[in-house]
Amino acid sequence: MNLFQSGYLVVALVCAAVSGVWAMIAARSPERLRSLLFAACALAAALDAFFVERRFVTAQSPAELHMALRWQAVSITTFLALLAVFLSVRTGRVRRPLLTAVLALLAATALVGFASPEALAFQLTSIERVLFPWGETISFGVGPAGPWRLVGDLANVTFLILLLDTMLRLAREGRHGLARWIGASFVVLSVSVLAIIPMDLGLLKVPPLHPFAFLLVVVFMTWELTGVAAKAARLSRKIATNEKRYRQLVERAQLLIIRLDADGLVREVNPHFVEVLGPPAADVIGRPLVELVAPEERQAASRSLSRVPGEGGTGAARQSMLGGDGLRRTIEWRYVALVKNDGDERETLGLGADVTERERAEGATRDALRRLERTVAELERLKGRLEEENLVLREEIGQRAGFEGIIGTSDGLQYVLHKIREVAPHTDASVLIQGETGVGKELVARTIHEQSGRAHRSFVVVNCAALPPGLESSELFGHERGAFTGADRRRRGRFELADGGTLFLDEIGELPLEVQPKLLRVLEDGEMSRVGGNQILHVDVRLIAATNRRLLQEVRQGRFREDLFYRLEGYPISVPPLRERTEDIAPLVFHFLRRINESRTVPLTELPREVLRRLEQYPWPGNVRELKHVVERASYAAEGSVLKLAGRLELDEGRMDRVAPPAAGGDGLVTLDEVQRRHIQAVLEACDGQIAGAGGAAEILGLHANTLRYRMKKLGIVRAQRSTVNETPQRRGSL
């Protein structure tokens, strides 16, 4: 026997032994299909090495080589097909379309190769004998390859793609151990399977190498399955240990434990059951549980037991049980439905607690509870009076001391504070804060929260413009584990975190359209569900939204839902920009300086009139935020206690279109207030004095009606009386 024949014999013996071992394992393993598939795969490799390849290398005539080639096509495709199906069952991550394509191509290859290889796949004209250096002679067929040979090549390449795709999917899921074994099999099979192509074309004259590759694959998979089997054995021992602990728990627990079959018959009770109710266990086994219940409660007990499998597998009941001594015992039961492995046979496990003494104690304390309820009612009445008095005092203090954090005395800012006093303590209505970037919309929202009855609960801030794209719903409403890639645990959303408090949605205009219906549902019904979950959650959240966009224009352009706009606009507040309240600049500067002086060795105490004049003439496109940064930069360059600007205050080209030109004199130029006054008067005349409603001046100017009234009052504009139709209020409300 030569070298290659001996090698094929070793391959056949090893694969046959592996096949026999896994066939025996399959007879006792719960993973029977997986074990049988692997046993069949190893058997296919053994038959290929023993009966096919040994005959292939020793063929003496073209007819004998033809027959070996026929069976070689069948044996190789059978092994690859069984391996593909085995990987699908073992990993659960083989793509179904790819598996179907591989099986179809392998079947076509076997059919073409076995039916007529010399006519379809290739034509043999003669046999060539190749002598190797160690004296062994191998037979090779000589002849041109046919076009049908491409079917087998395509099947081999598709199978390798299946292996590679499965390995990558397992690696992405973190199953690196199994992915490594499949990767090793991919490398081995790539070398052996792809070597068949040049061998059939006569470009490579070596004996078939795929039996040795099959052997390595079988060894790889055997090693991996052995590790799985060892882990299963350890789990079995752990299950046996847990079963022993369960039996000890049942026998020693100071609870009534009872096991019922599908018909409600008692199958097992623990010693404490017998101790409490009296009858020996032998008298209880095989009897319906309802026979131990008081007669007047048996019908209700029967209904409670019948509902357990249909109500999520759990149930509860309080029943009067008849003891062996004729006395009644009140038992609180908790029922749990148990399903065996086959899924057909159901049982019910009952856990009971004797609450007879507790029930008697409850009856003795009912009178005391009634007296306590009357006392609590009186305390609640007194508490209400105290809260009313406290509310009056808080409003008085707020009017005297102002609002913490809001700096300024201008008419525009006082109008905002007046709106806050109206909406904060008296209602939980939604508030829409509009204003340019940097005017302090979040500070207004926080002040509303602190002045409301929810001040003791959380204030949650969400910047809608900073939410990760595609994850807006997850951030706002939360998600369940496994809802999407990367959701490895349950996460509560911002609405749940703000339950009972206030949720501030900054830059609400940036919220995607697909998220807006969910937000509308929460605002109208107080109901939501996490992403990937079906449970309806109820939340009590006051919503405050802010935007620097003109939402009504966004609605007209289809970028914002109209019904959500009217729902958010329950109480609008427009925060005027800093350029419209220049009298607030000096108090703001001194406020920022007080903060800065906390970390300076030489405090800044002087604000030159020239510096203040330059600050008041600057239009401040960045509003209060920009003013704060300018003061901070000036403090860095200041020497001594006098504040000096670090540089010139200039607008770049990208910000010129955001503010009107500064006031100037001469050459026909007018102040900003004059430009606004003339433009508002012209629009009012064109609208016949109408401010709000469809076609009103506020709609044309892109302003809220209250904001327009405030500017008219500031600029001294008197509205002309309309001749026909009274002013129509703007329509609000949820749809």
Q: How confident is the model at residue 365 (pLDDT cuts 50, 70, 90)?
A: confident
Q: Do domains 3-232 and 664-735 have the same CATH topology?
A: no
pLDDT > 90: percent of the chain: 3
Q: Which tops the pLDDT comparison, 731 or 721?
A: 721
Task: Mean pLDDT check: name the lowest of 197-206, 485-494, 604-613.
Answer: 197-206
The pLDDT score that the predictor gives to residue 663 is 39
pLDDT > 70: percent of the chain: 75
CATH number of 664-735: 1.10.10.60
Average pLDDT over residues 52-80: 72
Average pLDDT over residues 392-415: 62
Q: Which tops the pLDDT comparison, 388 or 360?
A: 360
Average pLDDT over residues 542-554: 88
Task: Pull the structure tokens for residue 714.
Answer: 């500031």
Look at the domain 402-574 and name its fold: Rossmann fold (3.40.50)
Distance CA 247, CA 259 (A): 13
Average pLDDT over residues 107-131: 64
Cα dihedral 277/279/284/289 (nearest 10): -30
Residue 151 · residue 158 · CB < 8 Å: no
Residue 541 · residue 501 · CB < 8 Å: yes
pLDDT per residue as tens digits for the range 699-716: 888 787 778 887 888 787
The pLDDT score that the predictor gives to residue 131 is 62
Q: How confident is the model at residue 433 (pLDDT cuts 50, 70, 90)?
A: very high
Decide if pLDDT at 420 tops 80: yes
DSSP secondary structure code for residue 51 in this structure:
I
Distance CA 145, CA 133 (A): 28
Q: How confident is the model at residue 345 (pLDDT cuts 50, 70, 90)?
A: low
Residue 173 · residue 93 · CB < 8 Å: yes
Look at the domain 253-364 and name its fold: Beta-Lactamase (3.30.450)
Average pLDDT over residues 536-556: 88
Average pLDDT over residues 5-34: 78
Task: Mean pLDDT check: name the lowest of 353-357, 405-409, 617-621, 650-654.
Answer: 650-654
Task: Mean pLDDT check: name the lowest of 35-49, 71-85, 116-130, 436-450.
Answer: 116-130
pLDDT per residue as tens digits for the range 578-615: 888 888 888 888 888 888 888 887 888 888 888 888 88
- DSSP assignment string, 71-88: HHHHHHHHHHHHHHHHHH
Mean pLDDT of the chain: 77
Taking the domains of the chain in order of start, what are their residue ranges? 3-232, 253-364, 369-401, 402-574, 664-735
For the chain, state the CA radius of gyration.
Answer: 42
Q: How many contiguous H segments (helices) and E segments (strands) does the chain have?
A: 26, 16
Decide if pLDDT at 721 tops 70: no
Task: Mean pLDDT check: name the lowest of 340-354, 403-417, 484-498, 510-524.
Answer: 340-354
Task: Mean pLDDT check: name the lowest of 28-42, 444-458, 639-653, 693-707.
Answer: 639-653
Average pLDDT over residues 381-404: 50
At 618, give phi and psi (nearest 5°): -75, 135
**Confidence (pTM):** 0.40
Task: Pull the structure tokens for residue 600.
Answer: 């300076």
Decide if pLDDT at 32 tops 90: no
Convert 616-632 to b/e letters by CB count within 10 Å (16 or more is b): eebbbbbbbebbbebbe
Residue 544 · residue 445 · CB < 8 Å: yes
Q: How confident is the model at residue 129 (pLDDT cuts 50, 70, 90)?
A: low
CATH number of 3-232: 1.20.1070.10
The pLDDT score that the predictor gives to residue 722 is 43
Work out the number of other CB atoms within 10 angstroms of the CB of residue 138. Answer: 20
**For residue 642, what are the β-bridge partners?**
606
Decide if pLDDT at 1 tops 60: no
At 696, give phi and psi (nearest 5°): -80, 170
Decide if pLDDT at 277 tops 80: no
The pLDDT score that the predictor gives to residue 666 is 38
Q: Which tops the pLDDT comparison, 159 or 50?
A: 159
Q: Which tops the pLDDT comparison, 20 or 139?
A: 20
Work out the number of other CB atoms within 10 angstroms of the CB of residue 54. Answer: 20
The pLDDT score that the predictor gives to residue 294 is 82
Average pLDDT over residues 236-253: 68
- Select, from the ranges 297-301, 335-339, 404-408, the one with the highest average predicted confidence (pLDDT): 297-301
Residue 206 · residue 199 · CB < 8 Å: yes
pLDDT per residue as tens digits for the range 442-474: 899 999 998 888 888 888 899 988 888 888 888
Task: Pull the structure tokens for residue 683.
Answer: 């629009």
